[in-house]
Structure 1
């Protein structure tokens, strides 16, 4: 058979060196949903350009040439954590060397230190502290809202919500309602890791299970709190585990429509109990973005998080299914404790350059993907 090589494939038509992709391509081009088996086939294919071509087709169908970014600031109020997740280099046991817990004034000062470019989002996640009361976290959010009323507060993963509910002797719906009343505007997607029980027992046995994570997300969406969703890949999971994760996210999204963005997170093994596992390859990083776009047909956005895969890979991913590269971030701690060598923040102009050089059109967004217009040192969000 005389097949066109991947390097010679024209943009306007689908061709592949892998015949197993042909029926999948027909579904994608017809706008049909891919099956579990299709997802496994995509992971096992070596024709990354064909997989990427399909993902880019969907990405451009949804977003044209637009690539999103935002100006955000991370706040990690404490690294004290009762969990003992083998995947984590951030958490510390109470009393252990290297622990910290911010006083509220310190947290608010930390937030202010990231306002040099007028951030539009505070991203708040931290450890499961055994002693901090529920009101500490609510006061943290209230204080941010008083001091920075225009800034969107994206706070507390599903894992943190379940822990805070238990600490406060509340139901999860009650906890979510109180968070919302305090000023939480949306929720990050962390803690999802991999939903499969077999994997979860190895990497994060002390967290809520996959079903509880999904149910917490479902309850948050039902009261109007939108969230992101993540998947940590490149450790002890297999291809079926990854596809199972994506399908389960897709099922919840069918029900609630509350997920905004899917964010694949490359596992960083340094300084963790799984330090013997090699880092992910560029092939897997790009494939994960592309397959996320193809399988999650009901997710509006797919993010290539530059902190995890490097700015260069995030830039390339804009042609492999991603439409978002996250934001300025400013002082990210969790992945850097696990050995990330990327900068702990990036300026707005650098993100614009990355996007422009990828041949995409930069679109500064707020957390809800509304357009942000800037003046000298302030911003306006389109409503």
Structure 2
């Protein structure tokens, strides 16, 4: 479907916005100052159109989803980050840990419904040893070799390296041999050192996060990238975060998708308020424009909510994530989205957004198109 970009831009009177838009339309990379100008501009409709123009050049009318399941093996976590309402101490009445059989049972349920990917991320208990992480991957792949395993964030990989005395390369190589197929993007939060000292002072820092992904890409393990926004960061720090990801993607080409994650404050020590839907849409659109070397931008329906995610599919995003089934981390912080969706629900959401639903696998290979 052809977008009438010039027609809409005729109504724009902001000369600087038009200059940046012309640069984008001529496939020239924008800089950080220009991204900040777009954030501060009131030309929301034109911004969305510009991002959607880029998206359609990359992905056509497809909007992707996957039949997957998220498994959070435990909510016990040694880091106790102030922005997180999920992680608790072992003594907390809400603390839980899943046995291997419980984990395998959930993977079996996914397998029986024709699922393709299990996404594993959780708390980081101080008493788990290195072999625990590897064995979870190994046992799932042994029992269900067809299931793609996307597991353990860069923060968890960094922790595994620390407790085992191994290098990132050794840890990732052993996980890959055990059956790991891809890395999720969680744990990035905001790369700014100032922000990390406030919201997550003890976790892997920006350089460590990026190095884990660099090594994963070197080993042929693709990964996702995220940004948690809407808490104490500045717009400048958001753009710098995207710049650091863009540089690494220039170097390795190993990132599959960028996922802006809206912060939910309920139940966190950090507190605050939920950011606006306008901010959500601007962040989706600007990430699509700025991250010109990423093929995909995800409108994660769990944090955005289904309605804003639908709009985001016309603001540069091309992916809703998936069925998920049992997301716990964002729900602990107050999101009112469902815990999971059926395929029919996701197909309907995408169609009502005016897009063509395309079921994919982890690596964005199209499995089925719902015309």
TM, length-normalised to structure 1: 0.93
1:46 maps to which of 26, 42, 48: 42
Aligned CA-pair RMSD: 1.4
1:236 maps to which of 225, 232, 235: 232
Instruction: Name the residue aligned to 1:193.
Output: 189
* Residue deviations 1:261-295 (CA, integer Å, cap 9, x gap): 000000000000122x1101110011110000000
SS in 2 for 1:113: helix
Runs of 4+ in 1 over 3 A off after TM superposition: 9-13
Instruction: Name the residue aligned to 1:258.
Output: 254
Alignment of 1:25-44 (within 5 A): 25-44=21-40
Deviation at 1:199, TM superposition (A): 0.7
Deviation at 1:114, TM superposition (A): 3.2
1:364 maps to which of 336, 339, 359: 359
* Residue deviations 1:281-310 (CA, integer Å, cap 9, x gap): 110011110000000000010000000011
Deviation at 1:97, TM superposition (A): 2.0
SS in 2 for 1:185: coil
Distance 1:157 1:321 in 2: 25
* Residue deviations 1:93-112 (CA, integer Å, cap 9, x gap): 12222111111111111222
1:170 maps to which of 166, 169, 175: 166
* Residue deviations 1:10-34 (CA, integer Å, cap 9, x gap): 5453342433211111111100001
Corresponding position: 1:226 with 2:222:
yes
Instruction: Name the residue aligned to 2:18.
Output: 22
Unpaired runs of at least 5, structure 2: none
Corresponding position: 1:107 with 2:103:
yes
Distance 2:112 2:309 in 1: 24
Kept in 2: contact 1:18–1:46 (CA 8 A): no
Distance 1:32 1:288 in 2: 20
* Residue deviations 1:89-144 (CA, integer Å, cap 9, x gap): 01011222211111111111122233453111000001111111211121111111
1:158 maps to which of 150, 154, 157: 154
* Residue deviations 1:310-332 (CA, integer Å, cap 9, x gap): 11111111110001111001100
Instruction: Name the residue aligned to 1:352.
Output: 347
Corresponding position: 1:331 with 2:326:
yes
Instruction: Name the residue aligned to 1:4.
Output: none
Distance 1:225 1:47 in 2: 39
Kept in 1: contact 2:358–2:368 (CA 8 A): no
Kept in 1: contact 2:261–2:303 (CA 8 A): yes
TM, length-normalised to structure 2: 0.96
Distance 2:97 2:164 in 1: 19
SS in 1 for 2:330: helix
Kept in 1: contact 2:111–2:147 (CA 8 A): no
Kept in 2: contact 1:69–1:325 (CA 8 A): yes
SS in 1 for 2:265: coil
Deviation at 1:149, TM superposition (A): 1.4
* Residue deviations 1:8-62 (CA, integer Å, cap 9, x gap): x954533424332111111111000010111111111111111111101100111
